[in-house]
Structure 1
Amino acid sequence: MNSPHHSAHEASHQLWAYSDGAAVWGHDGNPIAPNIAPFATDMYAWLKRETSFVWQSGTHLAPGLDSQRNPYSESLTTLTASIATVIEDAVRFIESKSDISPTEAEVRRIRLECELVLYTARFSEAAIKQMLHCTGVPPKLYRNEAMGQLLAQDCRPCRQANLPRHSFSLLGSLAHHFFLCQEIDDCALDHLILANKRRNLEAAHSNAQRLRDFDPQQSRDALKVTLDEVGGAFAHLLGHVAKVEAAMIKEIELRIAHYPKMPPIEAYNYFLTRTVADYDSDGVYRGFGYGEERRKTRSESQARPS
């Protein structure tokens, strides 16, 4: 992410390498486990009612190991439980036949809508940041950023090189490594943008929603519309994010199994990852970026006049 780009696709989906933060390391200097947990995968399964529980993270036995934990995993544990509680409360309110005042019904609707929008946006942000922590992407690019910046950031190398200004996507870059960027671009980003806009408009601003002149049933119906819209978009988004998350966990586990050597190229059979581009024609790993440099050299030689 430090040099100008040569194509629109490359510019919006940049290459990255794994960092030491991708694994939990033992006292002997060997990696023990991936430093990422399948929160998006498990939340998606819960939303689809494929499981009846929400995954909860455990702790490492040794304090020295627990201190290495991905900083976003703990937040995701809290956000997972919060979203589950909000959705269950919303469903109970929507299905309730209790006799309450119109004002109380409207206050409940507004509270549940704001919590739903806020927590789903924060979960999406944290799930992306948990993956970014496992990469060499500089934390300054994502640590304090909200959803919009995770989807589109100004590319400084191209701007500083006086090339056309453009933005790149951190989520798209994560997906690009596993050849999943097409479906992220075509579908999931719309849901992320929707969640971000709704959070900004309804939850983050100081101006609260006004109380509508609704009877209790109208408030319940309005909440159901929001739950279907936000919950549906959130589930659809997680279906895509979970694929990237699962692929990252799989590749980290593969590298741990062969550490300190790189896995043989045969280990990547039936597994789509751009890591294979960094192996030469003899199946020898040549280092991060080898495939990209080889591609550039080939393109430059073809462009030279004969």
Structure 2
Amino acid sequence: MSDQKPKSDARPPHRDWHGTHHTFAYRAQAFRWIGPELVGINFIPLATDMRAWLMQRGQLPVATLADKDASGGYRNPFTFSGTSLSLLLARVVNAYHDFVTDTSDLEPVEADVERLRIYNEVVLYTARFCESVVKQLLHCTHLPEKRYERKSLGELLESPCPTCRKESGKKPHMVSLVGCLAHPFSLCLEFEHCAMDHMDMVNKLRNSQAAHSGIQTVNPRAADVSRAQCDKDCREVLDGFFHMLSHFEKLEERMLNDLAEKGEQIELLRLNGVPAEEANYELIPGRRFEHPRLPRGRLSWPGTIFLRLQPQGFDPEPELPK
């Protein structure tokens, strides 16, 4: 995989995005707790970990049913679905690599059916993975879960405002939940001019190729021809996906750092006799957290302990196309 933008002939067409970016605050569920003690942040940087794995520089995390009951563990439902989708997508990427590098002789129909299966799974799981990345971050905000829980990737990118839609005789304005996340960290432009175009392309491919009854027709031919076609089609999707992950990596990093700083100050207040439920927090992304009883100074524990408790590592045979 390359860290460069996809080639110009593979770049998705630019679309003008008109969704507004609503401001939001973090809620208590942005953190992990043991009773009144704040012990970590309630999301895993899925995009960061996936991008590292694609470059063969890291392992993918595993969050299991047993982790849901762990003291101080993750309570973000999209963390669990997101790690599962990470592992499924990794298996698909490995299957793609194995198929296009295999030199064994296959029957024409068998080879082309395998091409279709792998391509459709690449398209399907890249789109579903993107949805889980966005929803996991939205779960940490005060935005009602009903606003995004069942939304598709396309609706997360842009959808009618639900409040305006209820008012008769008015055309609702559009809202971008992805843009809402990017806005407080000054990432709007790079998302609107690059990342969201790639997400839109993946969503359209998923809808036309992998989510409904429509699918490419089997085209029996020599196995090496089907492999070459699979390589071309999958690489186009994965190159754009890989570049898109670099934008999400920035967003995850800034949210983690922002929450880590705020969490440290919340815990400092607790140690100075201000219980979390009495602190009346106003946790605005990108804005310094202030409280009249917040003492000067910083906590001394290592930031890596606070940031997150890393789930069990997993490395599903990371042999990727060069």
Q: Give distance in 1, aligned partners of 2:208 and 2:83.
A: 26
Task: Tell me which moved more, 161-170 or 147-156.
Answer: 161-170
* Correspondence for 1:108: 114
Q: Which one of the candidate residues 49, 63, 77 is aligned to 2:83?
A: 77
The reply to whether residue 210 of structure 1 matches residue 227 of structure 2 is no
For residues 107-146 of structure 1, the aligned pairs below 5 Å read: 107-146=113-152
Quote the sequence identity (%). 35
Could you tell me how far 1:170 is from its partner in structure 2?
A: 0.5
Could you tell me how far 1:235 is from its partner in structure 2?
A: 0.7
Letter in 1 for 2:47: A
* Correspondence for 1:13: 21
Letter in 2 for 1:87: V
Q: Give distance in 2, aligned partners of 1:207 and 1:178.
A: 39
Q: Which one of the candidate residues 104, 122, 142 is aligned to 1:98?
A: 104
Could you tell me how far 1:158 is from its partner in structure 2?
A: 4.8
* Correspondence for 2:233: 226
The reply to whether residue 86 of structure 1 matches residue 98 of structure 2 is no
Where 2:151 maps in the other structure, the secondary structure is coil
Letter in 2 for 1:46: W
Q: Give distance in 2, aligned partners of 1:131 and 1:188.
A: 16
The reply to whether residue 26 of structure 1 matches residue 34 of structure 2 is yes
Task: Tell me which moved more, 151-160 or 170-179.
Answer: 151-160
Equivalent residues of 1:184, 1:240 under 8 A apart: yes
Task: Tell me which moved more, 155-164 or 102-111.
Answer: 155-164
Where 1:259 maps in the other structure, the secondary structure is helix
* Correspondence for 1:199: 206
Q: Give distance in 2, aligned partners of 1:73 and 1:62.
A: 14
Could you tell me how far 1:57 is from its partner in structure 2?
A: 4.0
Equivalent residues of 1:86, 1:112 under 8 A apart: yes
Equivalent residues of 1:79, 1:122 under 8 A apart: yes
Equivalent residues of 1:30, 1:259 under 8 A apart: no
The reply to whether residue 275 of structure 1 matches residue 270 of structure 2 is no
Could you tell me how far 1:54 is from its partner in structure 2?
A: 2.4
Q: Which one of the candidate residues 60, 74, 78 is aligned to 1:54?
A: 60
For residues 236-255 of structure 1, the aligned pairs below 5 Å read: 236-255=243-262
Q: Give distance in 1, aligned partners of 2:192 and 2:230.
A: 29
Equivalenced residue count is 261
Letter in 2 for 1:210: T
Q: Give distance in 1, aligned partners of 2:58 and 2:30.
A: 29
Where 1:17 maps in the other structure, the secondary structure is coil
Could you tell me how far 1:169 is from its partner in structure 2?
A: 0.6
Where 2:287 maps in the other structure, the secondary structure is helix
Letter in 2 for 1:39: L
Alignment TM-score, normalising by the size of structure 2: 0.74
Equivalent residues of 1:22, 1:133 under 8 A apart: yes
Q: Which one of the candidate residues 29, 42, 48 is aligned to 1:41?
A: 48
Q: Give distance in 2, aligned partners of 1:61 and 1:214.
A: 48
Equivalent residues of 2:19, 2:158 under 8 A apart: no
* Correspondence for 1:155: 161
Could you tell me how far 1:211 is from its partner in structure 2?
A: 0.4
Q: Give distance in 2, aligned partners of 1:162 and 1:16.
A: 28
Could you tell me how far 1:165 is from its partner in structure 2?
A: 3.6
Tell me how large the CA RMSD over aligned residues is: 2.8
Where 1:223 maps in the other structure, the secondary structure is helix
Structure 1: tracts of 5 or more residues without a match: 1-8, 263-272, 285-306
* Correspondence for 2:282: none
User: Kindly tell me: are residues 161 and 185 of structure 1, through their superposed partners in 2, closer, same or farther at Cα, counting changes over 3 Å?
Assistant: farther
Structure 2: tracts of 5 or more residues without a match: 1-16, 271-284, 295-322
User: Kindly tell me: are residues 10 and 148 of structure 1, through their superposed partners in 2, closer, same or farther at Cα, counting changes over 3 Å?
Assistant: closer
Letter in 1 for 2:94: E
